[in-house]
Amino acid sequence: MEERLKLLSRAMQAVLLAIALAGFLTDNLTWVPAAVVSLIITEIPSILRRDLKLVLPVELNFWIVLALFLHVFGGISGFYDNVPGWDHVTHALSSSLIAALGFILVLSVDQYVKAIYLPRRFLGVFIAMFTMAMGVLWELMEFSIDTWTGSHMQYSLDDSMLDLFFDGMAGIAVAMVGAHYLSHTTRDEFLENMGVDKAKEKIVQIVEKRKDK
């Protein structure tokens, strides 16, 4: 299973690279920046693993690649305009991603900041709200880019609100999965498997090195 997910991720990265190259060669530059940026983002987990020894779960890696791939692929193939609901699928995917990353982040905060304690249920509520807040900021970003550059990222009111709706649903889904997950795994185990403790030490080392200079 894990090997297959890794293989699939690689395949999607290859397609992203192909899209970037093809776009450049044929002078269709609209989606080239998005493809390149997506490629760079999909490489971030590998960089984290190399430099900080932080190991994100394979499923999460796959999720990251999938979300970015569907976004760029939907753009280049015209699916955003032609396939109804494509927009909402990518929205739900990317918000669930944000929710998962937020979950890891807030768990780490709970673990390593002495003055903070967040029970399991509160973590669920927190993740749902965090995702929704990010969704609102995202829509605002789309709106301001539309206003400044005259692009059409937002189609209509219904569209923006449905985006938000799917953001919220994805956030609630991840919150429930996360809360369920924590009911049979301790936080220590979860963070240890990812190597968050080692990553934290590495970061402390790096910061101290900077200070010495």
As a whole number of Å, the end-to-end CA separation of the chain is 46
Query: Per-residue x/- mask for another protein, residues 80 to 109, rule CB under 8 A?
Result: -----------------------------x
Name which position in 14, 47, 105, 116 contacts another protein (CB under 8 A): 116
Tell the smallest beta-carbon distance from residue 91 to another protein (Å).
13
Residue 64 CA to residue 43 CA, distance in Å, equals 10
Tell the smallest beta-carbon distance from residue 185 to another protein (Å).
20
Q: Which is nearer to another protein, 12 or 132 (CB)?
A: 132
Tell the smallest beta-carbon distance from residue 181 to another protein (Å).
20
The verdict on 112 binding another protein (CB under 8 A) reads: no
Chain Cα centroid distance, residue 114: 27
Query: Per-residue x/- mask for another protein, residues 144 to 163, rule CB under 8 A?
Result: ----------x-xxx-xx--
Q: Which is nearer to another protein, 38 or 90 (CB)?
A: 90
Name which position in 62, 79, 80, 165 contacts another protein (CB under 8 A): 165
Name which position in 100, 132, 170, 179 contacts another protein (CB under 8 A): 132
Task: List Cβ<8 Å contacts ≥24 apart for 171-174.
Answer: 171/95, 171/96, 171/98, 171/99, 171/127, 171/128, 171/129, 171/130, 171/131, 171/132, 171/135, 172/128, 173/96, 173/99, 174/96, 174/99, 174/100, 174/103, 174/127, 174/131
Q: Can you tell me whether residue 55 is helix, strand or coil? A: coil
Nearest to 30 by CA among 77, 70, 68, 65: 77
Name which position in 143, 180, 181, 203 contacts another protein (CB under 8 A): 143
Nearest to 194 by CA among 209, 207, 175, 181: 181
Tokens of 165: 């709706």
Q: Which is nearer to another protein, 77 or 160 (CB)?
A: 160
The verdict on 1 binding another protein (CB under 8 A) reads: no
Name which position in 75, 135, 178, 195 contacts another protein (CB under 8 A): 135
112 close to 199: Cβ distance less than 8 angstroms: no
Binding site for another protein (CB under 8 A): 109, 113-119, 122, 126, 128-130, 132-133, 135-137, 139-140, 143, 154, 156-158, 160-161, 164-165, 167-168
